[in-house]
Structure 1
Amino acid sequence: MDRRSFLRASAVGSVAAGTLAAPAIAQTAPKVQWRMTSSYPKSLDTIHQGAVTLAEYVRGMTDGNFEIQVFAPGEIVGGLQAADAVAEGTVEAAHTSSYYYWGKDPVWALPTAIPFGLNPRQQNAWFYYGGGNDMMNEFYATQNLYGLPLGNTGAQMGGWYRKEINTAEDLKGLKMRIGGFAGKIMEKLGVVPQNIPGGDIYAALEKGTIDAVEWVGPYDDDKLGFVKVAPYYYYPGWWEGGATLHAMFNLKAWNDLPESYRVALKVASQAVTCDMMANYDWKNPDALLRLVGAGAQLRPMSEAIMDAGLKASNEVYAEISAQNPTFKKILDTMIGFRGKSFQYQQISDYTYDTYMMIQKQKGSI
């Protein structure tokens, strides 16, 4: 038999084998349709897109047999009710931030971001190799949930302020829109935290109802126009050194999935986490230049303010750890890794990054 005849025969055999195998494959790839409610409006296209991309990846990996339909906040439940809706079985899945629910138990705050916590690379290392996912899912199981990281914003900005802040004293009495666990720390510094939905923040700043707001970073902040009413733009957002978002699944729905579908969700979630960080890294530089061009006055958080924030954070962590053994167990693993990792990054990434930044300032690159 010549080579061409052999290839034709092989192709026919492969098709036949595929046809014969199809019924067996179908048995292990049932049609599954899920609904995923998002905590993020479509206007936050970089974040909201994470859930949409997850659905696309899973659909492709399962030949269209596993369909996930994504809903914006308010279409099924409000954005801050997303995890509750999943736990109750109203929907099978949610794309949300775990720290939205820290009021139930401070443990909820740990996997998203805590003041002076981990940066994005450190978080991924802790989740995937330091037991972070496993420890959080032990906790989530008590809430009738299973969770996977689904996106990261990177280190966030320190927010927009109507006046300059230079010392911790300047924070006292400041009415600030700040979300999650960070509000508890800022409250210890004298800030009056305000919980205001994204769509209402601009009006509150313009009217003077609030004095400051933290949101995400340049790309998302640019869309909301804060620069027009609160020109002082501070960095870094030390309360969110790399905020991780999560996909949360109803525990029974997760356990009922075929193993291949659970693997597809795990792989897709990791891919989305990488994709979102890359998306922000690409968009934020140009967005920051636009904001500066529109009048944003960049200011670094003073060392005095950051020192006060670190002291307050450590005090709150000690208070909670004394009463909440689960919080203490998980926090201790994060803090232990944080010290070692920053020591290493000081030698590797920091040295390289600092040199390149100096060359940028010199005009060499």
Structure 2
Amino acid sequence: MKLSFVKKVLGVTAALCIAASTVNAAGSPEYRFKMATGWPGGPIMDEGPKAFAKKVEELSNGRIQIQVFPGGALGNPQKVSETVKNGIADMGHLWMGHDWGRDTTTVLFAGYAGSFDSEVMLHWLYQGGGYELQREFREKEFGLVSMPLFIRTPEVFLHSRKPVRTLADMQGLKLRTVGAWLDLAKQLGAATVTSPAADVYTMLERGVIDATEWGTPYENVSPGFNKVSKYVIVPGVHQPTAPFELVINHKTWDKLSAEDQQMIEYAARLVTLDSWLKLGYEDAKALKWFEEQGNEVIELDPEVQQAVLKTAQKWGASQAAENDWFKRVMEHQAAFETVWRKGQRSRKLSNQ
């Protein structure tokens, strides 16, 4: 009986120490952290959280190891920030736009129809002060440590069971999406719904939805949407960029040394830049692959593209009018974009 009691105590102690630090022979602390994600797998998981965990392990010489869990394993895959804030996971990987219902400012950091492209977004984040704004926003409004981790090139507008070219084709279209596009696409006539990532293929296969937006051409190969929808609609004017996010519980962050914190930030930046390069390269080949699989690639009529941008601009202005954080970030981005566009004069080359 005493032996059984000791075993129970040891078991509980071991469970409590899963994410706690130990000290190696050299006197440096070792950590084992749990990371929640919103993804069942695919390129986003491989090029995002898993690549980050590997990079951190390499840079720390194995002192810091991160176990990455698929979406739903540690909590609601669309509420990863809550899972981390509540201490169920030490850190998490998500698209910040999932939290738009709490504060629409999140979509300015996550990208939406009114955003600039990924190249400009990266420069704004890492050189133009966007990173610092993101850290401040998440800290003050959500109590989380935040930094970019993974970024998309422009997404595919739709994988659809129906051809979509015009605004008329958008009317009543049963569309699965997330974030601000739920509202914006509805304003354009679509019947929008949201769902966890793992449910999208089945919903499309069974006709519960007519279409879905998901990721870039390359990212959309592995889910197999081409098997259950004939049409690939481009360009992704609804999502010209999509930076994803690493969030860290404050207790986890605070136990790290300044050097380890800097290493975490460095690893996240490297993975983000690598993901942009990898997706851009693979996207270049993916549309041809879809055509080879029997899909028809359709380009949206200009009227749809213009309508999306006008709707997004109007929506953004309405959010800025009632949300001080949204206004602050939107104005910061607009000021940076003005400087960026003027600077493009030095990059234009004559064809002659």
Fold shared, TM-score > 0.5 on shorter chain: yes
Could you say which residue in structure 2 is the equivalent of 1:113? 111
Could you say which residue in structure 2 is the equivalent of 1:51? 49
**How far, CA to CA, are the matches of 1:345 and 1:136 in structure 2?**
26
Shift of 1:271: 0.7
Match of 1:88 among 79, 83, 86: 86
| Aligned partners of 1:141 and 1:251 also within 8 Å | no
CA deviations over 1:120-177 (Å, ceiling 9, x no partner): 1211111112211111211111211011111112111111223333332321211111
**How far, CA to CA, are the matches of 1:346 and 1:178 in structure 2?**
37
Could you say which residue in structure 1 is the equivalent of 2:313? 314
| Aligned partners of 1:50 and 1:276 also within 8 Å | yes
| Identity across the alignment (%) | 25
Could you say which residue in structure 1 is the equivalent of 2:322? 323
CA deviations over 1:44-103 (Å, ceiling 9, x no partner): 134344212212222222222222221111222231121111111221100111111111
Shift of 1:342: 4.1
Structure 1 41/207 Cα, relative in aligned 2: closer, same or farther at 3 Å? closer
Could you say which residue in structure 2 is the equivalent of 1:135? 133
Could you say which residue in structure 2 is the equivalent of 1:358? none
TM-score (norm. length: structure 1): 0.83
Aligned with 1:164: secondary structure? coil
Q: Which moved more, 1:76-85 or 1:193-202?
A: 193-202
Aligned with 2:192: secondary structure? strand
Aligned with 2:304: secondary structure? helix
Q: Which moved more, 1:292-301 or 1:334-343?
A: 334-343
Aligned with 1:307: secondary structure? helix
Could you say which residue in structure 2 is the equivalent of 1:167? 166
Could you say which residue in structure 2 is the equivalent of 1:20? none
Superposed counterparts of 1:1-365, under 5 Å: 26-27=26-27, 29-42=28-41, 44-142=42-140, 143-345=142-344, 348=347
**How far, CA to CA, are the matches of 1:48 and 1:330 in structure 2?**
30
Aligned with 1:222: secondary structure? coil
**Residue type at the aligned position of 1:208:** G
Structure 1 68/309 Cα, relative in aligned 2: closer, same or farther at 3 Å? same
Q: Which moved more, 1:322-331 or 1:336-345?
A: 336-345
Aligned with 2:335: secondary structure? helix
Aligned with 1:224: secondary structure? coil
**How far, CA to CA, are the matches of 2:223 and 2:24 in structure 1?**
52
Could you say which residue in structure 2 is the equivalent of 1:363? none
Which residues of structure 1 form unaligned runs of 5+? Answer: 1-22, 356-365
Shift of 1:186: 1.0
CA deviations over 1:272-312 (Å, ceiling 9, x no partner): 01111222123223332221011221122211011111111
Structure 1 344/221 Cα, relative in aligned 2: closer, same or farther at 3 Å? same
C-alpha RMSD of matched pairs (Å): 2.3
Structure 1 327/52 Cα, relative in aligned 2: closer, same or farther at 3 Å? same
Structure 1 54/299 Cα, relative in aligned 2: closer, same or farther at 3 Å? same
| Aligned partners of 1:38 and 1:82 also within 8 Å | yes
**How far, CA to CA, are the matches of 2:207 and 2:293 in structure 1?**
21
Structure 1 204/343 Cα, relative in aligned 2: closer, same or farther at 3 Å? farther
Shift of 1:188: 1.3
**How far, CA to CA, are the matches of 1:316 and 1:302 in structure 2?**
22
**Residue type at the aligned position of 1:220:** E
Could you say which residue in structure 2 is the equivalent of 1:7? none
Shift of 1:24: 12
**How far, CA to CA, are the matches of 2:344 and 2:300 in structure 1?**
22
Q: State the structure with more CA Rg.
A: 1
Could you say which residue in structure 2 is the equivalent of 1:14? none
Structure 1 229/59 Cα, relative in aligned 2: closer, same or farther at 3 Å? closer
Structure 1 or 2: more helix by fraction: 1
**Residue type at the aligned position of 1:52:** K
| Aligned partners of 1:234 and 1:298 also within 8 Å | yes
Q: Which moved more, 1:191-200 or 1:121-130?
A: 191-200
How many pairs are equivalent? 328
**How far, CA to CA, are the matches of 2:134 and 2:337 in structure 1?**
18
Q: Which moved more, 1:280-289 or 1:339-348?
A: 339-348
| Aligned partners of 1:153 and 1:244 also within 8 Å | yes
**Residue type at the aligned position of 2:69:** F
| Aligned partners of 1:66 and 1:261 also within 8 Å | no
Aligned with 1:215: secondary structure? coil
| Aligned partners of 1:149 and 1:269 also within 8 Å | yes
**How far, CA to CA, are the matches of 1:227 and 1:72 in structure 2?**
23
Which residues of structure 2 form unaligned runs of 5+? Answer: 1-22
Shift of 1:326: 0.7
| Aligned partners of 2:56 and 2:267 also within 8 Å | yes
**How far, CA to CA, are the matches of 1:197 and 1:248 in structure 2?**
19
